[in-house]
Chains A and B, each alone.
Chain A
């Protein structure tokens, strides 16, 4: 007798829970969004198990306060440090769909690449929603933040981040330099062939925003350039994003020691900034940090140089 009553009570409770959930759902939880490749995505409720393949998306999701929803990350996601505890999957050209499916996500966030279309089809056939973010400039970063905010049901947080980013950039743009000073962005050091960031990169956009001239603004995208050209263009500032692993000369010391570079203004003034953590190369909220660091660095050097000049 007793057990029958218990079972009936359980069944009743279960029905109650299910029906109440069913009543609420259509009202407010359906997420409809168009991702940055124009692809429509519909989810019954905000994403709860997410795999983010690109480092930038990973950062944005954490900045939105949804880091704990990540069940997987691309292998190059390294910021903030907590994401390193999330299981990583092969990403990029060798994206491993099986690894992703094994994590049982309801959404995969990836960036646009050559292989993306095919990968999206495979994932969607397996019943996983795919959202593609594809920021090519700062406005694009705002869009991807808003997109991911919508996906996670955190529109307000997204709006906050975007507005604080805008405020930070506005602040920099307001007191910008006079456009006479030049900066050279070094993406890969001399030893491996010099690579720089030209037109259409975040570094270029941010330099322009703060009234600095990118030495290689005439070059499209990321490009390998001649060492001689750097000397001829004689930048006032050098920003290197080479990482330092704690052995041998630091990237700044290495640039200072290059033969033939001693007449470059930036080298003469030791005006070399090392941004070690992709602050200026990743379409994520930290772009403002990188921009501030660059602005402060140029400002400080100016103050230091002016009286001397």
Chain B
């Protein structure tokens, strides 16, 4: 009898890593400005070893190292974070239509960013980070408000209460954004561009913030796979088999909020990844979070990198908003996966 473990075997992780590396290099090598492969590799190795590149490679060096590389890294990390957050929320709330934005943290972060733009909030010593820090603060503040209200209504912090408050809070935050835009009409331009979501101009500093958040929140969330399985089977059942439902729920919500807050603050609101990636992955690897979580992490990164590649190159020199591409590509991929798995 063949024993199939709940976890992936090591070789599957090796395949994931291989695909990830291949897609990553493809995305670094292809772009709106065509740069030959040997130049790309040369300037990257030069940058790593700290050597100056030959004069003839100066365009390659200034395109690849400060611009394309950090952007692809940020895109991969944002994709991984959004997909992981989506998978965790879909399990926790036992609802395949949930994602990181369901708890309202996403709109809260957007509101923070829009306010920062409208009021010109900056932090001393961090000239470019005003919007980002405000967005993260607002993401956490939103979670506090949502949980505080939910706790007042219902001391057991039940899933339905949290979804309800989350949806109400989202609507409130969205209308607050409209109000801010109405009153801050002169800043409107940057606000509207911002809400469309863009990872242009991502820096290594952004990548570092994303990586640190993902390292912490990702480890915690993947470590909670078993508990998420229990929630996905049913909240009462989870309590009956000995899951500390309140503590797990709080932990998941806080981790998801951190991920979403950081992603929104850096990339704006990018839809579809958090909703569709876990959904598609579940159809392939099954609902067990011990497989679903790592698979979502990898697929989210790959999916968003490819979407961003399309956004950058399809209509070059123009660039498409990333959210537009994720929705279009995501819908098509979703239909394909849906029918493939149904036929089986």
Instruction: Identify the A interface with B (CB < 8 A).
Output: 75-76, 78, 187-195, 216, 218-219, 223-229, 231-232, 234, 242-243, 245-249, 254, 258-263
Contact B201 A227 (CB under 8 A): yes
Docked Cα-Cα span, A254 to B190, in Å, equals 15
| CB–CB A263/B58 < 8 A | yes
Specify the chain B residue showing the minimal Cβ separation from A226. Answer: B32
> What residues on A are CB-neighbors of B203 within 8 Å?
259
Flag if A226 contacts B31 (CB, 8 Å).
yes
Let me know if A75 and B65 touch, CB within 8 A: no
CA A234 – CA B62 in complex, angstroms?
A: 11
Smallest Cβ-Cβ distance to A192: which chain B residue? B193
Within 8 Å of chain A (Cβ to Cβ): is B198? yes
Residue of B nearest to A261 (CB): B62
- In Å, the complex CA distance between A190 and B203 comes to 11
B198 touches A226 (CB 8 A): no
Residues of the A chain whose Cβ atoms lie less than 8 Å from the Cβ of B198: 192-193, 224
Q: How far is the CB of A73 from chain B (nearest CB, A)?
A: 12
Known A-B contacts A247-B120, A259-B203; A228 and B128 likewise in contact (beta carbons under 8 Å):
no
**B63→A75 contact, CB < 8 A:** no
Task: Report B124-140 CB contacts with A as 1/0, cut-off 8 Å.
Answer: 00011011000000000
Which residues of chain B in 22-36 are interfacial with respect to chain A, using CB atoms and an 8 Å cutoff? 31-33
Residues A219 and B190 in contact, CB atoms below 8 Å apart: no
A189-B190, A193-B196, A219-B317 in contact; A260/B63 too (CB < 8 A)? yes
Q: Chain A residues near B33 (CB, 8 Å)?
A: 226, 228-229, 231-232
> How close is B162's CB to chain A, nearest CB, in angstroms?
32
A305 to B190, CA, bound (A): 34
Given A243-B187, A260-B63, output 9 extra A-B contacts at Cβ < 8 Å: A226-B32, A231-B59, A245-B187, A248-B120, A248-B128, A249-B128, A259-B67, A260-B66, A263-B58
* Contact among B62, B200, B318 with A223 in the assembled complex (CB-CB below 8 Å): B318
Is B291 part of the binding interface, using a Cβ–Cβ cutoff of 8 Å?
no
CA A190 – CA B194 in complex, angstroms?
Answer: 11
Question: Closest CB-CB distance, A164 to chain B, in whole Å?
Answer: 29
B131 touches A248 (CB 8 A): no
Contacts of B193 in A (CB 8 A): 188, 192-193, 195
Q: Of B68, B130, B190, B317, which is within 8 A of A248 by CB? A: B130
Q: Which residues of B contact A242 (CB under 8 A)?
A: 190
20 chain-A/chain-B pairs, Cβ below 8 angstroms: A187-B189, A188-B189, A190-B200, A190-B201, A191-B190, A191-B194, A192-B194, A223-B318, A224-B319, A224-B320, A226-B318, A232-B63, A242-B190, A245-B187, A247-B120, A248-B120, A258-B201, A260-B65, A260-B67, A262-B62
Asked whether A247 lies within 8 Å of B67 as measured between CB atoms, the reply is no
**Contact across chains for A228 and B67 when beta carbons are under 8 A apart:** yes
Asked if B244 is an interface residue, CB under 8 A from chain A, the answer is no
Interface string of B149-193 (1 = CB under 8 A from A): 000000000000000000000000000000000000111111001
Question: Please, which residue of chain B has its CB at the minimum distance from the CB of A246?
Answer: B120
Contact A227 B67 (CB under 8 A): yes
CA distance A283 to B194 in the complex (A): 26
Q: Which of chain A's residues have a CB closer than 8 A to the CB of B287?
A: none
Q: Are A216 and B196 in contact (CB under 8 A)?
A: no
Cβ-closest chain B residue relative to A234: B59
Contacts of B185 in A (CB 8 A): 75-76
Chain A residues positioned under 8 Å from B66 (CB to CB) = 259-260
B200 contacts A229, CB within 8 Å?
no
Q: Does B316 contact A (CB under 8 A)?
A: yes
Contact between chains at A248 and B122 (CB < 8 Å): yes
Query: Within the complex, what minimum Cβ distance (angstroms) separates A189 from chain B?
Result: 7
The verdict on B312 contacting chain A, using a C-beta distance below 8 Å, is: yes
B321 at the A/B interface (Cβ < 8 Å)? yes
Cβ contacts under 8 Å, A226 to chain B: 31-33, 200, 312, 316-319
* Structural contact, B321 and A263, CB atoms closer than 8 A: no
Contact A229-B62, Cβ < 8 Å, known A190-B201, A247-B122:
no
Please give, as numbers and ranges, the residues of chain B lying within 8 Å of A194 by CB-CB distance: 200-201, 319
Best-surrounded residue of A194, A224, A245 (most CB of chain B within 10 A): A224
Distance of B128 from chain A, by nearest CB (Å):
7
Contact A263 B201, beta carbon cutoff 8 Å = no
Given contacts A193-B193, A249-B127, contact A224 B201 (CB under 8 A): no
Flag if A193 contacts B319 (CB, 8 Å): yes
CB distance from A201 to the nearest CB of B (A): 14
Q: Complex: how many Å from CA A167 to CA B278?
A: 64
Contact of A193 among B58, B65, B321 (CB under 8 A): B321
A187 to B186, CA, bound (A): 14
Which residue, A219, A246, A260, A262, has most C-beta atoms of chain B within 10 A?
A260
Over the window 245-274 of chain B, the binary record of Cβ atoms lying under 8 Å from chain A Cβ atoms (1 yes, 0 no) is 000000000000000000000000000000
Contact present for A216 and B317 (CB under 8 Å): yes
Closest chain B residue, CB of each to CB of A260: B66
**Which of A78, A192, A232 interacts with B190 by CB under 8 Å?**
A192
**Residue from A228, A242, A246, A249 with most neighbouring chain B CB atoms (10 Å):** A228
Q: Which residues of B contact A190 (CB under 8 A)?
A: 200-201
Q: How far is the CA of A190 from the CA of B185 in the complex (A)?
A: 20
Question: In whole angstroms, how far apart are the Cα atoms of A253 and B320 in the complex?
Answer: 27
